Amino acid sequence: MKRKLIDSLPFERQVASAIDILRCVAWFEHIRDHLQKTGSRVCATAYGIGKFIQPETYAGVSPALYNHNMWPKYAAGLHCPGQVTLAAAEKKVPGSTAIYDASVWTMLNVTNPVGGQIDTGLRTLRVEVQEALYEKKGLRFGRYHRRKVGQATLSSLERHAGGLDALAAAVLLLKEACEAGDRERCFHVGLSLHRILLMTCVSMPVLSYRLPLIVYFSLFVFPLAASDSLIIDVPICEFYEMTDLLSTYVAILEDLRVIRAENARVTRERRRLLVGDLGKDLQFGLMPRLKVAPDCRDSRVAGRVASHTVGKDWGLSVLRQYGAVDFPPEETLLDMKAAYDQARLRHELSQCTREECNGLPGCG
């Protein structure tokens, strides 16, 4: 995806191109998943799938034809299928066109203004996601009364993070906060969005195309999830590693019967790993990285970020060894405190002028 997105293109074109990649890859993986579930052995590769869907385009069918083999390009999102290809795929895999034309792609596009259309988009999502955002009693009678976008609503949304619906809903809430100019709400929605993306990426079939999804969110979505003082930083390779770690730990804890196995759409048990119910090592290791906003003058924020980073690195180090440490050791806690104090002092020194220093240690 990063190779295809040219920096010289307008931002809207870059985002549109990224969305095309995602919808194309999701469409292809849906087809592959369906055919593999039906036991079709020849459909494990893009070549085999293409020959099954459009055999008339492959060499050997007719002397006048040759194989142009566009399907590997569909698999990589390098080329979008035309109407003929979509129709051929729909005939062999009913429902595949609905994946390509799903409303979630419009919702995930950060350049599409939300305006007053947010409810229209949310009402197309599956019922469980709607119930997280609207009053349940009203939904039974066709009345849509939105809940306040607070922690309770976001937590409810996180419990249904399997598939793209909860992810699309969270992006709509983020865009709504951006349009309202509510930077603090952007940040808090962004923290929840980080957990939702992480859980979405370990659910099927999204697991098969998680990398371009991670790239898209890292480049275009999380930059919107910043407050006046804090920025959510999502390194692509590290987040990809975190999805592997989360998937592995979910499998281990299910085998040990520490958490219950759930269907692909429900993520209540997976969420427990991210919020500290099953140990600070999981919570710290799988939480997002933070940065201080360029214009922030509050030294306490710099200290918080430095302490947060030490905790994050400790948690990741434990998870990478597939260990289990419920609470940070005293040494790590002392390192977190020292990082807080040092970062706060450095930030204060960087903000003050010579007249304002008044003899602070380190000022010349």
| pLDDT tens by residue, 50-65 | 888 888 877 665 554 4
315, 282 contact by CB (below 8 A): yes
Distance, in Å, from the CA atom of 242 to the CA atom of 201, rounded to the nearest integer, reads 10
Q: How confident is the model at residue 28 (pLDDT cuts 50, 70, 90)?
A: very high
Q: How confident is the model at residue 70 (pLDDT cuts 50, 70, 90)?
A: confident
Find the helix or strand (DSSP H, E) in which 12 lies. helix 11-37
- Three-state DSSP state, 232: strand
- For residue 353, what pLDDT is reported? 52
Radius of gyration over every alpha carbon of the chain, rounded to an integer in angstroms = 23
Q: How confident is the model at residue 135 (pLDDT cuts 50, 70, 90)?
A: confident
| pLDDT tens-place string over residues 139-182 | 777 778 888 889 999 999 999 998 899 999 999 999 999 999 99
| pLDDT tens-place string over residues 307-331 | 999 999 999 999 999 988 999 999 9
| pLDDT tens-place string over residues 201-246 | 999 889 999 999 999 999 999 999 999 999 999 999 999 999 999 9
Burial class (CB in 10 A: 0-12, 13-18, 19+), 176: middle
pLDDT(115) > 90: no
Average model confidence (pLDDT) across the chain: 88
pLDDT(130) > 70: yes
Q: Is the CA virtual torsion 248, 253, 255, 261 positive or negative?
A: negative
- For residue 90, what pLDDT is reported? 94
SS3 content of the chain, % helix, strand, coil (to 5): 60, 5, 35
**Entry pTM:** 0.90
Q: Mapped to the 3 state alphabet, what secondary structure does 298-316 carry?
A: CHHHHHHHHHHHHHHHHHH
Distance, in Å, from the CA atom of 241 to the CA atom of 316, rounded to the nearest integer, reads 10
Q: Between these two residues, 17 and 62, which has the higher pLDDT value?
A: 17
